């Protein structure tokens, strides 16, 4: 036997749902309003702060989503650290499930070590950190984690091709109050949480690919920002038993070690 709906209760439930939705929208509406000028100023302050640091170090935890051919979204996680001494010294370590890689640059020579495979490579590459980042990305196809944040022209690099900018108000990352800003480009959306106060360093950086099915995200969580690079070692010594190879044969410095090259995996 079918029963007719209880109209008073139904109307009351609909009213409660509508009020709740209105409260949620009302809470988020001010934060979601685009305030392009403010968001740009927040980003500019961050890039100027980072660019002014002669010695800089930080830890980074990353999560890269991949989408399988059957539509399953998976995440590959890794951790690492970056120590840099401007203008021409850098020490990067990256440890994940696929590779344990270390890179040292002393202004003249680039040295890369894969501890798991016990192989290393060296190449003469005189220049600055900015030149190193460009060379690794464009010639060796070995992008460094968070490289876009570290260059002298970081603001211009980050804002290239940006079509929409939003100031989303405040957020909290690991107990630190942050300014939350979001940017859109034709191919990716990205958002950043930037610490408030006198040290506006990034706390979280999320990039969403709009050209890949499933809209996978790449998330970088930063911590331990400081000037510890002054004590870092920028001299490379190959471990005993390690075999020297060509730099092209060293797995990527990112967390996936060359496994994820396309848009999907099986």
Average pLDDT, the chain: 83
Q: Does pLDDT of 107 surpass 90?
A: yes
What is the pTM (predicted TM-score) of this model?
Answer: 0.81
Q: Helices (H) and strands (E) in the chain — how many of each?
A: 4, 13
Q: Please tell me the predicted confidence (pLDDT) of residue 146.
A: 84
Q: Please tell me the predicted confidence (pLDDT) of residue 231.
A: 67
pLDDT tens-digit readout, 43-55: 999 999 999 999 9
Q: Please tell me the predicted confidence (pLDDT) of residue 251.
A: 65
Q: In whole angstroms, how far apart are CA 183 and each of 46, 95, 112, 127?
A: 15, 29, 34, 32
Domain regions of the chain by residue span: 36-265
Q: What percent of the chain has pLDDT over 90?
A: 62
Q: How confident is the model at residue 258 (pLDDT cuts 50, 70, 90)?
A: very low
| 98, 100, 105, 108 alpha-carbon torsion, rounded to 10° | -80
Q: How confident is the model at residue 254 (pLDDT cuts 50, 70, 90)?
A: low
Quote the Cα angle for 207-222-177, to 5°.
95
For residues 221-241, average pLDDT:
87
> Comparing 184 with 22, which gets the higher pLDDT?
184
Going by C-alpha positions, the residue among 27, 24, 33, 39 that lies closest to residue 191 is 39
For residues 158-169, average pLDDT:
95
Q: How confident is the model at residue 137 (pLDDT cuts 50, 70, 90)?
A: confident
Token readout for 133 is: 């980042």
Q: How confident is the model at residue 6 (pLDDT cuts 50, 70, 90)?
A: low
* SS3 (DSSP) at 66: strand
* SS3 (DSSP) at 154: helix
> Comparing 116 with 172, which gets the higher pLDDT?
172
Q: How confident is the model at residue 20 (pLDDT cuts 50, 70, 90)?
A: very low
Segment of 68-72, 204-208, 255-259 carrying the highest mean pLDDT: 204-208
Q: How many CA atoms lie within 13 A of 170 on its CB side?
A: 6
DSSP state of 259: S
pLDDT tens-digit readout, 48-106: 999 999 999 999 999 999 998 888 999 999 999 999 999 999 999 999 887 789 999 99
Q: Please tell me the predicted confidence (pLDDT) of residue 7.
A: 43
Q: Please tell me the predicted confidence (pLDDT) of residue 226.
A: 87
CATH code of the domain made up of 36-265: 2.50.20.10
Total Cβ atoms within 10 A of residue 184: 17
Q: Does pLDDT of 190 surpass 70?
A: yes
């Amino acid at each position: 036997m079918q029963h007719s709906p209880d109209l008073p209760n139904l109307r009351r439930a609909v009213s409660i749902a509508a009020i709740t939705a209105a409260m949620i929208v009302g809470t988020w509406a001010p934060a979601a309003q685009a305030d392009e000028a403010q968001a740009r100023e927040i980003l500019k302050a961050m890039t100027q702060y980072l660019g002014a640091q002669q010695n800089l170090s930080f830890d980074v935890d990353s999560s890269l989503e991949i989408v399988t051919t059957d539509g399953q979204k998976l995440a590959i996680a890794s951790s690492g650290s970056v120590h840099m001494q401007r203008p021409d010294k850098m020490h990067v370590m990256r440890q994940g499930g696929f590779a344990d890689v270390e890179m040292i640059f002393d202004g003249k020579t680039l040295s890369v070590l894969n501890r798991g495979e016990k192989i290393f490579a060296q190449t003469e590459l005189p220049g600055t950190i900015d030149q190193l980042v460009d060379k690794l990305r464009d010639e060796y196809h070995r992008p460094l984690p968070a490289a876009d944040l570290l260059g002298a022209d970081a603001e211009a690099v980050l804002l290239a091709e940006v079509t929409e900018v939003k100031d989303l108000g405040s957020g909290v990352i690991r107990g630190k109050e942050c300014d939350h800003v979001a940017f859109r480009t034709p191919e990716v959306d990205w958002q950043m949480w930037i610490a408030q106060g006198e040290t506006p360093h990034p706390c979280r950086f999320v990039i969403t690919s709009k050209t890949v099915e499933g809209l996978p995200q790449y998330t970088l969580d930063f911590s331990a920002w400081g000037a510890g690079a002054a004590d870092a070692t920028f001299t490379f010594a190959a471990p005993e038993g390690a075999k020297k190879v060509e730099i092209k044969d060293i797995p990527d410095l990112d967390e996936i070690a060359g496994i994820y090259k396309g848009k999907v995996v099986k």
